[in-house]
């Protein structure tokens, strides 16, 4: 047997042994019932998924008051439904804007109905809202920054470049700390809630990254298209809105989705400024000392939730890449 084949057989045997051991740890000998005594008897020889069965509501909703959890769950479900509809090419019609308007109005009604206090929401709904609102605001501002950085005005180009490079040169946690602790000191009369300041910080931070993605798309547009638009009598904003930006968005959609995935995972940093997102909500599930030794299983559950959110986005990015890949004739493939 050749050395390469021997190495392959040994590697396969090692992987099979690891998979067998992992199966027994995670499934075969694991405890699934919310029984702290049975989990303690395992002495960490197998997984205790009982911590998830015991505290999944606390993990998914954080510090959300029990009477408000259905508000948060319904709002998050509506948001996921809107995002799913928006991902289907068959739904890329004008009526989608009306559906978004109705859905956002319903979500706003849920966040203000009765004694609902959005500031106390946490867990998965808060993670989704931070991601969607932060990325939506970041994409809008990033589009303006990209246009300004590629525009004709030298002063505007320098200002946009300075903003982009400054925000991309610092970690997100720095921006969150400044928005949460420095802004109230400098602007005590602004009256912004902690959640609003964090949302603004996320949008401003993500705008710098979206701007660089869109700038690459703007530079790929041939100069002849701008000249043709000028011949047809189009102004600057007409050229951008009807000719340039639709092509840029179509070309850069995979990169935009990748930025969205990064933003979704980065929302876990808000726990440092007092907001209990999906990761920060674990402290509510592990508040009971009897369950605290099984934090590993709880973190694995949270990781599975993040994977369930990020993996479809990753596959969707690949789908968009194949759908809009230009063919040799200059047209795009339709999948």
Q: How many CA atoms lie within 13 A of 315 on its CB side?
A: 5
pLDDT at position 334 is 46
DSSP state of 135: H
Q: CA-based Rg of the chain, rounded to a whole angstrom?
A: 24
pLDDT at position 189 is 66
Q: Strand (E) positions, 122-177? A: none
State pLDDT tens for residues 115-172.
Answer: 667 777 888 898 999 999 999 999 999 999 999 998 888 899 999 999 999 999 999 9
**What does the CA dihedral 22, 23, 29, 33 come to, rounded to 10 degrees?**
100
Instruction: Report how far residue 95's alpha carbon sits from residue 250's, in angstroms, rounded to the nearest whole number.
Output: 19
State pLDDT tens for residues 172-188.
Answer: 999 999 988 888 888 77
The pair of structure tokens assigned to 256 is: 């935009």
pLDDT beyond 50 at 332:
no
Contacts 24+ apart (CB under 8 A), 159-162: 160/211
State pLDDT tens for residues 213-254.
Answer: 998 888 888 888 888 888 888 888 888 888 888 888 888 888
* Cβ contact 252:159 at 8 Å: no
CA dist 203 to 132, 142, 195, Å?
A: 10, 9, 12
* Cβ contact 73:62 at 8 Å: no
Q: Which has the closest alpha carbon to 204: 136, 289, 127?
A: 136
Which residues have C-beta within 8 Å of that of residue 77, sequence separation ≥ 6?
A: none
Contacts 24+ apart (CB under 8 A), 166-170: 166/208, 167/204, 167/205, 167/207, 167/208, 168/208, 168/209, 168/212
The SS3 of residue 31 is strand
pLDDT beyond 70 at 108:
yes
The pair of structure tokens assigned to 245 is: 């930006």
* Cβ contact 72:125 at 8 Å: yes
What pTM was estimated for this model as a whole?
0.85
Q: How large is the average pLDDT for residues 275-296?
A: 85
Domain 69-86+125-274+302-335: give its CATH superfamily: MetI-like (1.10.3720.10)
pLDDT beyond 50 at 330:
no
pLDDT at position 41 is 86
């Amino acid at each position: 047997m050749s050395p390469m084949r021997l190495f392959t057989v040994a590697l396969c045997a090692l992987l099979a042994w690891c998979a067998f051991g992992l199966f027994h740890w995670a499934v075969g000998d694991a405890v699934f019932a919310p029984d702290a005594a049975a989990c303690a008897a395992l002495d960490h020889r197998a997984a205790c998924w009982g911590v998830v069965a015991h505290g999944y509501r606390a993990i998914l909703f954080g510090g959300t008051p029990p009477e408000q959890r259905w508000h948060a769950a319904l709002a998050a479900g509506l948001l996921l439904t809107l995002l799913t509809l928006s991902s289907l090419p068959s739904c890329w019609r004008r009526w989608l804007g009306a559906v978004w308007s109705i859905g956002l109005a319903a979500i706003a009604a849920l966040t203000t109905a009765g004694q609902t206090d959005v500031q106390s929401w946490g867990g998965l709904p808060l993670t989704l809202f931070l991601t969607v609102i932060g990325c939506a605001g970041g994409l809008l501002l990033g589009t303006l920054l990209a246009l300004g950085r590629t525009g004709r005005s030298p002063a505007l180009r320098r200002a946009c470049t300075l903003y982009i490079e400054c925000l991309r040169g610092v970690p997100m946690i720095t921006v969150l700390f400044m928005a949460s602790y420095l802004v109230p000191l400098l602007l005590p009369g602004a009256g912004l809630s902690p959640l609003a300041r964090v949302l603004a910080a996320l949008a401003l931070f993500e705008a710098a990254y979206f701007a660089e993605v869109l700038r690459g798309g703007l530079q790929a547009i041939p100069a002849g298209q701008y000249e043709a638009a000028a011949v047809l009598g189009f102004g600057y904003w007409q050229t951008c809105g009807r000719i340039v930006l639709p092509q840029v968005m179509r070309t850069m959609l995979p990169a935009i989705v990748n930025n969205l995935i990064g933003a979704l995972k980065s929302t876990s940093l808000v726990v440092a400024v007092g907001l209990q997102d999906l990761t920060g909500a674990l402290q509510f599930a592990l508040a009971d000392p009897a369950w605290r030794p099984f934090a590993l299983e709880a973190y694995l559950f949270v990781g599975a939730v993040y994977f369930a959110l990020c993996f479809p986005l990753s596959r969707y990015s690949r789908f968009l890449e194949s759908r809009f890949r230009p063919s040799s004739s200059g047209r795009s493939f339709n999948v």
